[in-house]
A and B are shown apart, each in its own frame.
Chain A
Amino acid sequence: MATSATGHTGHGGRARAGWYKRNEIALTPWLFLIPGILFFAVYVIIPIFQSVWISFHEWDGLGAKEWVGTANYERLLTDDRKFDVSFWNNIRWLFLYLLAIPAGLFIALFLNQTVFGIRLYKSLFFFPFVLSQVVVGLVFSWFYLPREGLLNALLAVFGLGPVNILGDPNLATYGIIAASLWPQTAYCMILYLTGLNAVDPEQVEAARLDGAKGWKMLWYVILPQLKPATFIAFVVTIIGALRSFDLISVMTNGGPFGSTRVLSFYMFEESLSEFGFRMGYGAAIAVVLFFIMLGFIAYFLWSMWREEKGAR
């Protein structure tokens, strides 16, 4: 009894000195997380609240802020044509950009074979994703040039008249989306190629014995196994569509007469560009864009969570 008591006090003394030791299991993960949390807070979480705060002000980014309440949002959502154009362009981007997923899938299926030099072909198909977006934009804007461009040379072979895709307010957005599909398809292709490596050959074998081939094989056997890859491809493509900016800036600078603006570009234009001194208004656009993105991200997170729960 006595010995155990002294032993106890001895322990207690050491425990008081080693408070960390006692809570080690609970604390260590947080210690490891602190740098990440810190940076995430400083560069992501806090700026979100700052943006919202700024969006209630009129501010030129240099001088003093002036509180205007919801005036920025009222103007944005009631009578701002630039906002309407940008919003609908965002919708176009969202839907058409998704074409990168089936395109990437088919290229991946095509390249998923073992022939001489396949690594080289794969790298060549992946190449556009490695290129800087600025380079992609430049290459495509030369391709679209109204007189010297390759596109019009090709059209001329078929006797079709010259088109100035980037100069036509009805076509320019589609022209830019087509350009952006080039690298995005390569991205989706890589996702699917890695996914295809994980496809279970035994299941394919079994399906073949049951007489499945062609589309049926793809739809009922391969695709379900590619679900994780498809999920990631969806996420990156949708987020990519919503934050499209660089190509627009390089290829048309938002023009002709603002017809290729999207929300992110409009925000940049209002707050940070050559004539943009309207931080408050820009922040309001950013907040709207944030909520649109949040909708998608929340959906993805929720479906991911549901899946994990189902797997458990």
Chain B
Amino acid sequence: MNRTLKASVLGLAAAGLMTSSALAHEHGGALEGTLRIISDMSNPAPRAVMESLAAEFDEMHPDLTVELEIVDREAWKTQIRNALSANPPDVVNWYAANRMLPYVEAGLFMDVSELWDEPEFASLASTEGAMTIDGKQWGVPYTYYQWGVYYREDIFNELGLSEPATWEEEIANCQAIIDSGRKCYTIGTKFLWTAGGWFDYINSRTNGYDFHIALARGEIEWTDERVRQTFANWRQLIDMGAFIDDHQTYSWQEALPFILDGEATAYLMGNFAVAAMRDGGLDDSMLDFYQFPAINPDVDFAEDAPTDTFHIASGAQNVPAAKEFLRFVVSPDVQTRINGGDALGQLPVNSEASVSDDEFIQQGFEMLSNNAGGGIMQFFDRDFPAEMASVGMEGLQEFMVFPDNLDDILERLEDARQRIYE
């Protein structure tokens, strides 16, 4: 069974590659040598995807050996610099937008604009902006995913609640959940970024996408009244006791048991959490998704939808193979396959790829296509410059534990803003 599946998958991939094989010839005939890939897809489902991609690419090119090294996703965020500057691999994983800026500026990523000029890349147009710095493209996306509220449908049914569309409904729902002896939200802020998701949503719902991005660019003071309004809205939830206790001690994975056990009913997260929640025993009758509700009716919905990427190191030894691998990854059928419900469970970046019929992926696709008129955010730690993101997220975590410290936190962030953006 496994064998036939793999064979048919291979067939598909081979068919997809027929078109690009002509291009491969242009770049110097059959690929040979070694292709070294370092990937940060270390969670179980992504790891399987990455391993199968590497194995497949290896089989497709008999003279080429693919060496894959998978690094822990958190660890990779600090290791990438060393990896790129000393003995660089050919292909690496990273993130789009501001997050790739330091490596682009330092000349560690290779300019791959000529790939983007190929006709096949026209179907990736929606993500071109996030990959562009200084008018050039520095990598290719392979997946993106929506953020939103994942909630326990069975508990909502038990309490007679429905998906909230406005902040008032949200608060009312939450009160009912708290009255039933549960917490509204699980969250683990030990590694800080999860708090960034809450800020992205509450701020963009309160003040709009343009305001949020202006704040990220350092054009607005953190002590601004509108920022304070965001925190005031957030504080409503904190004061109700909506979040689980001791969240500063947990990672996002360690916060999962709360929603699995029904001690908390919802989780504001990226779609990558679905696989973990399903593994934890939640089936589709127990788990559902809703878009973060409107707060200020006058602003359009903006959504977090971070894009994950592949890049070629500027010190790559086997550039033809690396480029071919990038073409391979973004081709429609590979995109369909790796983003499927049984693989990454996320959204394909290629518009010719088909979106998995998985419930959550469909809902996310629908939401991002039709109901994100405000704009697409890449996420707090990718939209804000690195130093601002780290100072900021620490402040957000402190606010969630000690909301009374807000004035102090905002002054600190404002100090940091004045210094960082100068």
Judged by a CB distance under 8 angstroms, whether A167 is at the interface is: yes
By a CB distance below 8 angstroms, the chain B residues around A278 are 387
Contact of A277 among B191, B386, B394 (CB under 8 A): B386
Expressed in whole angstroms, the minimum distance between the Cβ of A265 and any Cβ of chain B is: 13
- What's the least CB distance linking B330 to chain A, in Å? 27
User: Which one of A1-9, A267-275, A290-298 is at the interface?
Assistant: A267-275
Given contacts A62-B81, A277-B387, contact A256 B398 (CB under 8 A): yes
Quick check: A164 and B191 within 8 Å, CB to CB? Answer: no
> Does the CB pair A167–B246 fall under 8 Å?
yes
B379 to chain A, nearest CB (A): 13
Query: In the bound complex, do residue B106 and residue A255 qualify as a contact, i.e. CB atoms below 8 Å apart?
Result: no
When A60-B106, A62-B105, A62-B106 are in contact, do A164 and B387 touch as well, CB less than 8 Å?
Answer: no
Given A62-B102, A62-B108, A275-B390, verify A146-B249 contact (CB < 8 Å): yes
A81 to B416, CA, bound (A): 11
A274 to chain B, nearest CB (A): 4
User: Which residues of chain B are within 8 angstroms of A146 by Cβ–Cβ distance?
Assistant: 245-246, 249
Do the beta carbons of B78 and A273 come within 8 Å of each other? yes
On chain B, the residues within 8 Å of A257 by CB distance are: 248, 394-395, 397-398, 401
Select which of A62, A81, A258 is within 8 A of B85 by beta carbon.
Answer: A62
Decide if B412 touches A255 in the complex (CB within 8 Å). Answer: no
Give residues 130-188 of A contacting B (CB, 8 Å).
145-147, 164, 166-167
Q: Please give, as numbers and ranges, the residues of chain B lying within 8 Å of A167 by CB-CB distance.
A: 246, 248-249, 401
Known interface pairs A62-B85, A274-B77, A275-B389. Does A164 touch B395 (Cβ–Cβ under 8 Å)?
Answer: no
- Assuming the A-B contacts A60-B106, A62-B102, A146-B245, are A274 and B81 also in contact, with contact meaning beta carbons closer than 8 angstroms in the complex? no
Q: Tell me if A63 is interfacial: C-beta within 8 Å of chain B.
A: yes
> B103 an interface residue at 8 Å Cβ cutoff?
yes
CB of A61 closer than 8 Å to a CB of B: yes
A252→B192 CA distance, assembly (Å) = 11
A62 touches B397 (CB 8 A): no
CB distance from B401 to the nearest CB of A (A): 7
List A contacts of B415 (CB < 8 A). Answer: 79
How far does the alpha carbon of A167 sit from the alpha carbon of B85 in the complex, in Å?
37
A258 and B394 within 8 A (CB): yes
B69 vs chain A, min Cβ distance (A): 19
Partner of A63, one of B106, B192, B395: B106
Chain A positions within 8 Å of B395 at CB level? 257
| Chain B residue, CB-CB nearest to A63 | B106
Instruction: Tell me the minimal C-beta distance from A218 to chain B in angstroms.
Output: 42
The CB with the most chain B CB atoms within 10 A, among A147, A269, A278, is that of A147
Residues of chain A contacted by B397 (CB below 8 angstroms): 255-257
Residue in A253, A257, A269, A272 whose Cβ sees the most chain B Cβ within 10 Å: A257
Tell me the smallest distance from the CB of B270 to a CB of chain A, in Å.
17
The residues of B that contact A164 with a CB separation of less than 8 Å are: 245-246, 249
**Shortest distance from the beta carbon of B262 to any chain A beta carbon, whole Å:** 15
Q: How far is the CA of A255 from the CA of B398 in the complex (A)?
A: 10
* Residue in B closest to A141 when the chains form the complex, CB atoms: B249
Question: Which of chain B's residues has its CB closest to A164's CB?
Answer: B246
**Cβ of A276 under 8 Å from chain B:** yes
| Given A62-B105, A257-B397, A277-B387: A166 and B78 interface contact (C-beta under 8 Å) | no
- How far is A79 from B103 in the complex, measured between Cα atoms in Å? 30
Within 8 A of B (CB), among A290-309: none
B235 in contact (CB, < 8 A): no
Total A-B residue contacts, Cβ distance less than 8 Å: 69
Chain B interface main SS type: helix
- How far apart are A227's CB and chain B's nearest CB, in angstroms? 43
* B128 at interface, CB cutoff 8 A: no
Which residues of chain A have C-beta atoms less than 8 A from B248's C-beta?
167, 255-257
- CB of B190 within 8 A of CB of A255, answer yes
Query: In the complex, which residues of chain B have a beta carbon less than 8 angstroms from the beta carbon of A61?
Result: 81
| B194 to A: closest C-beta gap in Å | 12
Rounded to whole Å, the gap between the CB of A185 and the closest CB of chain B is 26
The complex places the Cα of A26 from the Cα of B394 at a distance, in Å, of 59
Kindly identify which residue among B108, B390, B394, B398 contacts A274, using a CB–CB cutoff of 8 Å.
B390
Q: How far is the CB of A101 from chain B (nearest CB, A)?
A: 31
Q: Is the CB of A275 within 8 A of B381?
A: yes
Bitwise interface map of B from 18 to 53 toward A, beta carbon under 8 Å scored 1, else 0: 000000000000000000000000000000000000
- Within 374-398 of B, Cβ neighbours of A (below 8 Å) are at 381, 386-387, 389-390, 394-395, 397-398
Interface residues of A in 174-215 (CB under 8 A from B): none
List the A side residues contacting B74 at CB < 8 Å: 274
CA distance A272 to B398 in the complex (A): 23
A interface footprint on B77-112 (CB within 8 Å = 1, 0 otherwise): 110010001000000000000000011011010000
Q: Is the CB of B105 within 8 A of A63?
A: yes
Residues of A within 8 A of B389 (CB): 275
Contact A62 B103 (CB under 8 A): yes
- Are A81 and B412 in touch, CB under 8 angstroms? yes
Give bound CA distance, A63 to B108, whole Å: 10
Interface centre among A61, A164, A256 (most CB of B within 10 A): A256
Docked pose: A275 CA to B388 CA in angstroms:
9
Contact with A along B238-263 (1 / 0, CB 8 A): 00000001101100000000000000
Q: Which residue of A lies closest to B392 (CB)?
A: A275
A277 to B104, CA, bound (A): 14
B394-A275 in contact (CB<8A): no
Give the chain B neighbours of A272 by CB distance below 8 A.
78, 81
A256 x B401 contact (CB < 8 A)? yes
What CA separation (Å) do A59 and B397 show in the bound complex?
28
Cα separation A276 to B388 with both chains bound (whole Å): 10
Chain A 48-82 interface mask (CB, 8 Å, partner B; 1/0): 00000000000011110000000000000001010
- CB-CB < 8 A to A81: which residues of B? 412
- 13 A-B pairs within 8 Å (CB atoms) are namely A60-B102, A60-B105, A81-B412, A146-B245, A146-B246, A252-B190, A255-B397, A256-B398, A257-B398, A257-B401, A274-B77, A274-B386, A275-B386
Cβ-closest 10 pairs across A and B: A62-B106, A275-B390, A257-B398, A274-B77, A275-B386, A146-B246, A256-B248, A167-B249, A164-B246, A167-B248
Chain B residues at the A interface, C-beta cutoff of 8 Å: 74, 77-78, 81, 85, 102-103, 105-106, 108, 190-192, 245-246, 248-249, 381, 386-387, 389-390, 394-395, 397-398, 401, 412, 415
Q: A60-B102, A164-B246, A257-B395 are in contact. List 6 more A-B contacts (CB 8 A).
A: A146-B245, A147-B246, A167-B401, A258-B394, A275-B387, A277-B386
